Amino acid sequence: MPLLEVKDLNIHYHVQGGILKAVEGISFSLEKGRSLGFVGESGCGKTTLGMALMRLLPSNGFISDGQIIFDGEDIRKKNEEEMRKVRWQKISMIFQAAMNALNPVQRVGNQIVEAITTHSPLLKKDEAFKMVKNLFQLVGIPGDRIKDYPHQYSGGMKQRAVIAMALACKPKLIIADEPTTALDVIVQDQILQEIKGLQEEFQISIIFISHDISVVANVSHEIGIMYAGELVEYGNTEEVFESPRHPYTKALLSSYPTLNGEKNMLTPIPGETPNLMNPQTGCRFFDRCPNAISSCKINPAEWVTISPTHKVLCYQCGRDCGI
């Protein structure tokens, strides 16, 4: 049984002038000890998805349909009290601007001790402190910095502290939403290696959410490409990168400048992402797709299985696929 199974998830927002369909019909599953990356551009619903898994949607957002089965239990059926036990202890999260999540007037170590003791009240304070020391060692913060205040930390160290906090209760699943976006490349690389190492060591499942396809490529076993609230391609990372099938994935890959190989002209994706207030009936990528045919506009895209570990949401690919 997979650790997390999401079936046909729909998330909507109440906004001025109607309902915004932020996430539509997303299904995936995640095994223990595996990592899954979601990639997409701003507004594609990836952050909303992460928040929904923790049931932390903003007050105007709601899960309108679908199931989230975590560890054999339905997350949607839990009440707030039960959810509080799941958060941090079973599922924890590394937020987008996590470095700002630290309270500036409290010592970093104390904040994590507090987080631990509130969730396991039986633990004594000095035991918790010892735990934090171990955690800091794990994420690569020198033990003598435990009593420092957040402003004495560099950006990378704050991020490490936040990762330590996420690990504190030995969760089964960590949702990392843009964990390295604000960091410089060298530090980003170190943090990603750190997370990867910890994941292998403790067999934690991780969901990475990022706008940067290259970040996700290096850390996750499976990858899901999101576009305008939908999952458009899903599969084993190597397979997706070696033979991307969805036109959006292909376009996304060819719009990234690379370091090696031929210096090709970048081919940007023309146009803009669609309005999610009333999306068109057919494929959402229709307007920007280079090989769309007229029926793409009317018929919703269908999932096509390329291999047992690779599937793509494209009406066209189901026909001839242009392999």
Partner 1 sequence: MNAAQLSTDNKNVIRPHWINRFLEGWSIYKKSILGKIGMVLLAVFALMAISSFIPPKINPMYEPMSGVDPYISKATGPSMRHWLGTDFIGRDLFSQLLVGARIAFLVGISAAFMSVFLGTAIGMIAGYAGKFTDTLLMRLADIIMVMPSLLVLLMLSALFSKLSIWFIVLFIALFRWPGVSRVIRSQTLSLKHRPFIEAARVAGASHLRIIFRHIMPNVLPLSFLYMTFQVTSAIIIEAALAFLGFGDPSTVSWGMMLQWVWKTGHMFKAPYWLLPPGICISLITLSFYMLGRAMDEVLDPRLRKEGENY
Partner 2 sequence: MVNNSEAILKLHYIFKKYKTRGTFFGPQSKDVIALNSISLKILKGEIFGLVGESGSGKTTVGRLIVKLEKPEKGEIYLDGQEILSLRGDQLKGFRRRVQMIFQDPYQSLNPQLSVLDAVSEPLIIHKIGNNHTIEEITRKTISSVGLSPPDDFINRYPHQLSGGQRQRVAIARAMILKPEIVVADEPTSMLDASISAQIFNILLQMREASNITFLFITHSLAAARYLCDRIAVIYKGNLMEIGPAEEILHNPKHPYTQALIDALPKLDLSSSKKYYNSLRKEERIVKENAGCPFFSRCNVSDETKCGQNIPPMKELGKSHSAACFYA
Positions that interact with partner 1 (CB under 8 A): 13, 15-17, 20, 60, 275-277
Q: Does 287 bind partner 2 (CB under 8 A)?
A: no
Contacts of 261 (CB under 8 A, 6+ apart): none
Return the number of the residue (104 or 308) whose C-beta is nearest partner 2: 104
Distance CA 279, CA 289 (A): 15
108 makes contact with partner 2 (CB under 8 A): no
DSSP alpha helices (H): ranges in 211-257?
213-219, 237-242, 247-254
Taking the complex as a whole, the smallest distance from the CB of residue 123 to partner 2 amounts, in Å, to 31
Q: At its nearest, how many Å lie between partner 1 and the CB of residue 65?
A: 20
Q: What is the spatial distance between Cα 205 and Cα 220, in angstroms, rounded to a whole number?
A: 10
Instruction: Give the 3-state DSSP-derived string for 159-221, with helices as H, strands as E and coil as C.
Output: HHHHHHHHHCCCCCEEEEECCCCCCCHHHHHHHHHHHHHHHHHHCCEEEEEECCHHHHHHHCC
Q: Could you say whether residue 238 binds partner 2 (CB under 8 A)?
A: yes
Q: Report, in Å, the least distance between residue 134 CB and partner 2.
A: 18
Report what 16 binds from partner 2, partner 1, none; CB cut-off 5-8 Å by kind. Answer: partner 1
Please state, in angstroms and rounded to a whole number, the distance separating the CA atoms of residues 236 and 36: 9
Strand partners, 223: 37, 235
Give me the least distance between CB of 183 and partner 2, in Å please: 9
Mark 50-89 with x for binding to partner 2 (rule: CB under 8 A) and - for no binding. Answer: ----------------------------------------
- Torsion 260-249-91-98 (CA) sign: positive
Which of the choices partner 1, partner 2, none does residue 276 contact, using the CB cut-off of 5 to 8 A by kind? Answer: partner 1
Task: Give the Cα separation of 317 and 8 in Å (integer).
Answer: 21
Q: How far is the CB of 13 from partner 1 (least distance, A)?
A: 8
Please give the residue ranges that form the binding site for partner 2 (CB under 8 A).
Answer: 41-42, 151, 184-186, 188-190, 192, 211-215, 217-218, 237-238, 241, 251-253, 255-261, 263, 265-269, 272
